[in-house]
Chain A
Amino acid sequence: MLEIKELLLKRGEFTLGRLSLNVPEHSYFVILGQTGSGKTMLLESIAGLQQIEGAISFDGREITQLPPEERGFGFVYQDFALFPNMRVRENILFASSLRAIEDIEELFEDVTAFLGIKDILQRSITHLSGGEKQRVAIARAICSRPKLLLLDEPLSAVDPTFRTSIMISLKQIVSRYGISIIHVTHNFREATFLADHIAIMMHGKIVQSGDAEEVLHRPMTLEVAKFLGFRNILPGSLLGKSPQRLFSVNPNAVLFSRTRQDREYCIESTIEEMVIQADLNKVIVTSSGHKLYAKVPKNMFEKLHLQTGETLYACMADKDIVWLPEAIDAGAGR
């Protein structure tokens, strides 16, 4: 549906691209990247708000030179950018004041009910909370009947208590209004919850993109793995493989035992540190000079009577091991 080819954009010191990206129809596409990785610029390029090199096409039609008003992509900024010279209702109906929008009354009724903003339509936008402003900005974008909705960090200025409910609404937009969403964020929990496709962006480039499950569980580089919150990134030599290969293991999937267990990997290690917490205990062990971090449930911890300095086996199943591809790692680790 949306296809970006070799996009390049330079602004001062910063270079975005070259990057290529494919956004499938009816998808919730999350672009995940750190602050300053160029996510907003990429969204603005898609919307036609930045002059770029390269090509963007939508539904097979080249739109690279099309001005934003002719692209029909809705945009929601991080700080919402509501028009201060208009009330809530006029903000939402702005697009329909410019041109005829199909069944606008019906759409307006539906969107304002769906987002729960019927009671604030007459208000001035200066008296809205962060969550309300955000929903008004989304309603305004949907009421232009966009072909694609671009969301720039839409949850970062919203009170954490409302985030989950807004995320649920966001997820429903795709099927309810039949539009695809491109959502940029630095928060991988948002991505985990919302995305069915993910692209990881670093230093102005897309470093990995694909099916959400695939990207979240199979990072292609060390940098991506670290960014996605992978712990225990260790050399393969610990598991009897090549030391050049790196693997990662989920801290919840490490089983401690005094005897070898029926698991693919059991490595001898020494307990270095234990942190006692409410629901589980954190245990850090060392093996051949490498630190392995594990979370041990309370009951297990008490049964084993673990002691600092004690040597025991840390066992892991093959299914819990994520191997990071070595060829790309050599590049990422440079």
Chain B
Amino acid sequence: MRNGRFFVSLFLLLGSVIVLFLLVPVGKLLISVGLLRILDTISQPEVYSSIWLTLSTAFYAVLFVAVTGIPLAYLIARYDFWGKSLLESLLDIPVMVPHTAAGIALLIAFGNGWMDRVGLGFIDSTTGIMAAMMFLSAPFLINGAKEGFRKADPKLERVARTLGAGPMRTFWRIALPNARGDIINGALMMWSRALGEFGAVVIIAYHPMVAPVLIYDRFNSFGLKFSAPVAAAMILVSVLLFLVVRFVNNRLGDQ
């Protein structure tokens, strides 16, 4: 019993070190800036539109990967095909490369004008920002969905087929709902990574400024005092959005 208490105390102590390390900077930033100044900062048009740009572009990036990556994840989870494990390793590469390097690679692939010619734009455009966000964070959603599909028993889908559901309906009615938790977690992970993307975005699009670029820009030009409120505002907004999404997801899951 005594031993047990010592063990728990030791682990508690070690655990609190990392908890403090993770929470103190965020807390300190929010407190030192103060709620009033955060709200005031958010109401500045430049900050407001930058945060909105960040949130919406990251959201579109998640949407794009949901439409393309979830079907891919399903194929990987349910079918065996030649080169599958190679494909899975390749998909993880973006997580490992330095972000600025990824930005350069994207610039070479898409920045030579053809995207402008088809009317999408790339350099200094939201399309470019979205591409940068997507490149570095897509694996989070794809892997989350893959995990979710793998955990669900394929027999559920087979039974659905025998009950008269075609492959597409089986996917919508059985596979997708039963992998929902992991997909939403993956999407949230991807979205949060996309919100904070700086290295690749700054190479492709300094303007329009996403929040991380705006924070960096203000820090460089005017110093800590001017960048801290923007940083605090961005943290506050993303934490709030996170809590809302989790809450809604849990409520839906309980039904």
Stretch at the interface among A77-85, A278-286, A320-328: A77-85
Q: A81–B155 contact, CB under 8 A? A: yes
Determine which residue in B155, B159, B173 has the highest number of CB atoms from chain A within 10 A of its CB, and name it. B159
- Alpha-carbon separation in the docked complex, A49 to B162 (Å): 8
- Alpha-carbon separation in the docked complex, A44 to B163 (Å): 13
A79 / chain B contacts, CB cutoff of 8 Å? 153, 155
Judged by a CB distance under 8 angstroms, whether B28 is at the interface is no
- Alpha-carbon separation in the docked complex, A200 to B80 (Å): 32
B156 / chain A contacts, CB cutoff of 8 Å? 81, 83-84
- Alpha-carbon separation in the docked complex, A49 to B169 (Å): 16
A 188-206 contacts with B by CB, 8 A: none
B159 CB contact (under 8 Å) in A71, A75, A98: A75
Chain B 162-196 interface 0/1 with A at a Cβ cutoff of 8 Å (1 = within): 11111101000110011010000000000000000
- Alpha-carbon separation in the docked complex, A94 to B167 (Å): 15
Name the residue of chain B whose CB is nearest to the CB of A152.
B155
Interface residues contributed by chain B, number (CB under 8 Å):
19
Judged by a CB distance under 8 angstroms, whether A219 is at the interface is no
Q: B162–A71 contact, CB under 8 A? A: yes
Determine which residue in A68, A71, A140, A146 has the highest number of CB atoms from chain B within 10 A of its CB, and name it. A68
Interface residues contributed by chain A, number (CB under 8 Å):
27
Judged by a CB distance under 8 angstroms, whether B158 is at the interface is yes
Q: B166–A67 contact, CB under 8 A? A: yes
- Alpha-carbon separation in the docked complex, A83 to B77 (Å): 19
Judged by a CB distance under 8 angstroms, whether A178 is at the interface is no
Given A83-B174, A83-B178, A85-B178; A94-B155 close (CB under 8 Å): no
Q: A99–B164 contact, CB under 8 A? A: yes
B158 / chain A contacts, CB cutoff of 8 Å? 44, 47, 49, 68, 75, 81
Determine which residue in A72, A77, A83, A141 has the highest number of CB atoms from chain B within 10 A of its CB, and name it. A83
Q: A77–B177 contact, CB under 8 A? A: no
Name the residue of chain A whose CB is nearest to the CB of B161.
A68
Cβ distance B155 to chain A, nearest Cβ, rounded Å:
4
Name the residue of chain B whose CB is nearest to the CB of A98.
B164
Given A77-B155, A98-B169; A83-B162 close (CB under 8 Å): no
Residue contacts A-B, CB under 8 angstroms, 15 given: A47-B158, A48-B161, A49-B162, A69-B162, A69-B163, A69-B164, A71-B162, A74-B162, A77-B159, A81-B156, A81-B158, A81-B159, A83-B156, A85-B174, A85-B180
Chain B contact residues, CB within 8 Å of chain A = 153, 155-156, 158-167, 169, 173-174, 177-178, 180
Complex A-B, nearest 5 residue pairs according to Cβ-Cβ distance, in ascending order: A68-B161, A85-B177, A81-B155, A75-B162, A95-B163
